[in-house]
Amino acid sequence: MSEQHTELLRFSTAGSVDDGKSTLIGRLLYDSKSIFEDQYETIRETTARRGEEGVNLALLTDGLKAEREQGITIDVAYRYFATPRRKFIIADTPGHIQYTRNMVTGASTANVALILIDARHGIVEQTRRHAFIASLLQIPHLVVCINKMDLVDHSEEVYEKIKEEFSEFSYKLDVKDVHFIPISALNGDNVVDKSTNMDWYGGSTLLYYLENVHIGSDDNFIDCRFPVQFVVRPNTDEFHDYRGYAGRVAGGVFKKGDKVMVLPSGFTSEITKIDTFDGELEEAFPPMSVTLLLKDDIDVSRGDMIVRENNIPEVSQDLELMICWFHDKPLQARGKYGIKHTTQDARCVIKEIRYKLDINTLHRNEEDTEIGMNDIARIVIRTTKPLFTDIYRRNRNTGSIILIDEQTNETVAAGMVI
């Protein structure tokens, strides 16, 4: 019964078609010994069959038939590897212009965004787009890998120039923690092992960075938020009067004995027990899944939120959002959509489209309110019932929503409360 101390770190990668992203992931997996012999054999055979030389590590990450045929990545693929310090989940997203939606999806749960730049080309349109999405989705840490250093003679000058150029535009973005690393994914320089070709670089390798970046403060431990997911009522003789509110802590630290308030009713009570299968807990915090029991027999159901009396979220039917549109069918002004927020389901109407954002220039275009696939826009909605929200910047769990087309049931947009 030994508890391990390995933390979980989720990172997203995005890159242009040829900047070596798949090779980098292949390198991380290969050098950390996370590739198995049969996988290696399969890609070696496939490489040979295609008439290419060596072993194309990119084939490891291109899972679907269509992707291998076209040599591109068309969807978010998840990859896993572990070191003694951490377990890593990579959300690998394609870098093509039409796939902003995948980048946003991969970024939504990431602690770290890994941005790849081809040292020969420097900052390109896609670099700006990736950095912007990382900032929009509030990924806490950004690591910028300047790749293919072997093709620019491992030049410090080239590295410094790109670094400076990146900083020049990123100051306009809302990113807190940016880190730069010069690498060669193909040769493995500064990926897992320190490069002998770039003595001028005194920083850490990419893997060292990923193993050590501080993620303990990425969740919100201040504002207590507990969206009720499911009401547990055993109806057995042993647990006759048991009524527990199951859910995942979305913010703050709940303690036994805490005075709490239930939204939307506003009734107050006290936490008598934080229950789990493994026994009672003294406190619960993100990302734990627990069951809360309250002192008073009040009406609580799925979609309600348990909070602290002196720190309540915004309770409102009017929301101001930044959205990323995911669907071929454009956003309908004054259209009605389904909305999901924490464990709540509601409907909403689009009240106003304030502007469309050009994600390359960050220009706000108030004239253009035609919001189509992959567009980013600021909108105002009104919901059929009050939602309990925090601004996204303060809490990613209680500040995020998705919009759903009511005819097709497809998820058509991701939104962040501002």
Residues 170/42, Cβ–Cβ less than 8 Å: no
Residue whose tokens read 């990302």: 287
Contact with other proteins (CB under 8 A): which of 53, 164, 237, 238?
238
Per CB under 8 A, which of residues 321..350 are in contact with other proteins? 326, 338, 340-343
Q: How far is the CB of 221 from other proteins (least distance, A)?
A: 5
Closest approach, Cβ 36 to other proteins, in A, equals 4
Asked if 101 is part of the footprint of other proteins (rule: CB under 8 A), the reply reads yes
Interface residues for other proteins in 301-320 (CB under 8 A)?
302
Question: Pick from 50, 287, 352, 366: which binds other proteins (CB under 8 A)?
Answer: 287
Near other proteins by CB under 8 A, which window of 148-156, 218-226, 308-316, 348-356?
218-226
Q: Which segment (6-14, 159-167, 204-212, 255-263) binds other proteins by CB under 8 A?
A: 6-14
Residue with Cβ nearer other proteins (196 or 217): 217
Bridge partners of 382, per DSSP, are 318, 349
In the complex, the smallest distance separating the C-beta of residue 192 from other proteins, rounded to whole angstroms, is 18
DSSP 193: B
Minimum gap (Å) between residue 34 Cβ and other proteins: 9
DSSP helix/strand/coil, 206: helix
Please list, in sequence order, all residues whose beta carbon lies within 8 angstroms of the beta carbon of residue 417, skipping any fewer than 6 positions away. 314, 319, 320, 321, 389, 390, 391, 392, 399, 400, 401
Q: How far apart are CA 272 and CA 269, in angstroms?
A: 9
Regarding 6 and contact with other proteins (CB under 8 A), the answer is yes
Q: Does 135 bind other proteins (CB under 8 A)?
A: no
Nearer Cβ to other proteins, position 236 or 310? Answer: 236
Contact 373, 101 (CB under 8 A): yes
Helix %, strand %, coil % of the chain (to 5): 20, 35, 45
Q: Which is nearer to other proteins, 79 or 141 (CB)?
A: 79
As a whole number of angstroms, the distance between CA 229 and CA 96 comes to 37
What is the spatial distance between Cα 177 and Cα 205, in angstroms, rounded to a whole number?
17
Q: Give 34: exposed, middle or buried? Use CB within 10 Å, 0-12, 13-18, 19+.
A: middle
- State the binding string over 239-278 for other proteins (x if CB under 8 A, else -): x--x---xxx----x---------------------xxxx
For the segment 351-370, give every residue that binds other proteins (CB under 8 A): none
Give min distance, CB of 119 to other proteins, in A. Answer: 29
